[in-house]
Chain A
Amino acid sequence: MPLIEARDVYGGYGGMNILNGVDMSLEADEVGVIVGPNGAGKSTLLKAVFGLLHVNQGDILLHGKPIQNLPPHQLVERGMGFVPQEKNVFPSLTVQENLEMGAFLKPQNVKRMLGQVYEFFPPLQEKRHQPAGELSGGQRQMVAMGRALMAEPSLLLLDEPTAGLSPLYMNEIFDRVKHINAAGVGILMVEQNAKQALAIADKGFVLAAGQNRFTDTGAALLADPDVAKSFLGG
């Protein structure tokens, strides 16, 4: 049974569909990457999975159970973590408090998970008493991912985790994503840096105009000349 599956999903804002029949499926322990041109509906798909926008038609299944249009906090309870692209930390809370908020529904986990998150992101440990708003962009991304991991999700959704980061931090973040995945967390992310993202992807979904254009393994998509020509800038 796939970890997460979207079947022929239509959805959008205010009755207008941005997604026009998208299919997506990811096994546990896999990294899935959604790429495509601007306006293709990449982030929209991610938000639809996390219940942040209305699904008008089709099914979204987590562990085989339909979850479309459930409120976000119920999805967190069911093992989903979401890292938005922007405004993804609580700026006036300290790093540690940010992380604690991630485990709001599982307070008994806080101690154990804090240790794990600090293992994934060592820089956060020394800054743990600093307000998250004072951190650099890359460190803030780490706080955001750490916060989502605190709830021990089986699936982590990342919306453009490397947007606006320097190449150095970008590699660091991709590296962390691989580590997290190796620890048994399924990952579904939207990325602008398609080549690097597909390089670590088990599955890639190329979207255009709210529909699937290509779906394959990351390596296969990278090797596909059509994909390269249309979507990866040659």
Chain B
Amino acid sequence: MNELVFFVNNVVIAGSVTGAIYAIGAIGVTLIFSIMRFAHFAHADMMTFGAFMVLVLTTAFPGIGMGIGVPTAIVMLPIAMLLTALLAVGIDKTFYKPLRAHGVKPIVMVIASLGVTLILQGLIRLFAGTGGQGLYVDDRKAIFRMLPFEDVRVPIVITEPQVYLFGITLLAVIALHLFLSRSRLGKAMRAMSDNPELAQASGINTNTIVAVTWVIAGGLAAIAGTLLSLDVTFKPDLSFFLLLPIFAAAIVGGVGHPYGAVAGGFVVGFAETLAVFNWAVLLRPFRDSLPTWLELPSNLAFVGTEYKIVVPFFILVAILVWRPTGIFKGKVI
């Protein structure tokens, strides 16, 4: 049973945590792709920016959360979301809109977004330095230990930021669903993703939709970056390791498909944790009943943790080979 708890801690919880972060990131990428038709490489850096804003605000007002019993970083999250949304709209106005107006190919937009990546990274590193910093400035990170089974010594461990992560992810997905299916702007967004020319011919102001898309993508990016930094630490170079899994998640779910992106995020997140999980642990209880000629190696992980990045890449290539439209059939390729 100890082994099972170990599995729950290292795969079920860890996979859900990674999956949720990838999912929120992938929603943003997929929305931007469906409205503006390019892969936005600066997305992970918008996540870092959001987390950085929370860090700055939390450092400036460390005591605020104490009064209401919530970590200060969570209190600051809405402000950081707003700031990141503003940044996203600003980036679009300064960097992407002029190129769009020129009617450049989507790949030029991709390169432009790489330029934005570098600018954001440079700025964040300039102000934040290169080391890691915790987002828990004055608060204590609560850790919940559960012992659900009798005579099991190892507890199931879940931390406070992880609980917030699951809660906020759920909230964000529900809110997005309601926005896309109920609100006038949300429907117009889907319409524009379906058929931009017809959307324009219907009188939908495409500039508004583009701005709304950036606001949502920026807000979600701030959530993902903050929750990730809460769970581990804030680092200015978080982004490069997030980019590939997030794109893989968006493509697995079908590009332009927000619900697919959520599913894709969890697929990639669980695939990563399953791949680095040492399966020998689960087989250990059966060691005595195994035939003697079969000597179990101590390490039965598919890939070492240092090769984690292989997993999203493998998934990406596999999906591109077998089903480039993604598991839920994305609309645009």
Residues of A within 8 A of B (CB): 50, 52, 71-73, 76-77, 82, 84, 87-93, 97-98, 100-102, 104-105, 107, 147-148, 151
Contact = CB atoms under 8 A, between A and B. Distances in A.
Given A77-B203, A92-B331, 7 more contacts: A73-B203, A76-B201, A87-B198, A97-B190, A101-B187, A101-B191, A107-B184
B194 interface: yes
Nearest to A71: B200
A98 B195 CA distance: 11
Given A90-B195, A92-B194, A104 B202 contact: yes
Contacts of B194: 90-93
Interface in B137-189: 184, 187-188
B281 interface: no
B198 A93 contact: no
A85 to B, nearest CB: 12
A89 B204 contact: no
B187 A89 contact: no
Given A104-B188, A107-B184, A90 B205 contact: no
22 contacts: A71-B200, A72-B201, A72-B203, A73-B200, A73-B204, A87-B195, A87-B197, A88-B198, A89-B195, A90-B190, A90-B198, A90-B199, A91-B194, A92-B190, A97-B187, A97-B191, A100-B184, A100-B187, A101-B187, A101-B188, A104-B184, A107-B184
B102 to A, nearest CB: 15
B198 A151 contact: no
A73 to B, nearest CB: 5
Contacts of A148: 202
Contacts of B191: 90, 93, 97-98, 101
B197 A105 contact: no
A100 B19 CA distance: 35
Nearest to B192: A90
A77 B203 CA distance: 7
Interface of B: 184, 187-188, 190-191, 193-195, 197-205, 331
A71 B203 CA distance: 9
A147 B203 CA distance: 11
B198 A105 contact: no
A148 B331 CA distance: 24
Contacts of B199: 90, 101
A89 B197 CA distance: 10
A219 B197 CA distance: 35
B202 A101 contact: yes
Contacts of A105: 203
A97 B199 CA distance: 12
A205 to B, nearest CB: 22
Given A90-B190, A92-B331, A93-B190, A102 B195 contact: no
Q: Which residue among A88, A104, A107, A147 has the maximum number of chain B CB atoms within 10 Å of its CB?
A: A104
Given A90-B195, A91-B194, A101-B188, A84 B203 contact: no
A87 B193 CA distance: 13
Contacts of B200: 71-73
B203 A76 contact: yes
B203 A151 contact: yes
Contacts of A88: 198
A88 B190 CA distance: 15
A189 B204 CA distance: 23
Contact of A104 (B193, B195, B203, B331): B203
Given A92-B331, A102-B202, A147-B202, A84 B197 contact: yes
Contacts of A72: 200-201, 203
B201 A50 contact: yes
Closest 6 A-B residue pairs measured CB to CB? A76-B203, A90-B194, A105-B203, A90-B191, A73-B203, A101-B191
A171 B249 CA distance: 48
A193 to B, nearest CB: 23
A104 B208 CA distance: 12
Given A104-B203, A105-B203, A151-B203, A89 B184 contact: no
B181 to A, nearest CB: 9
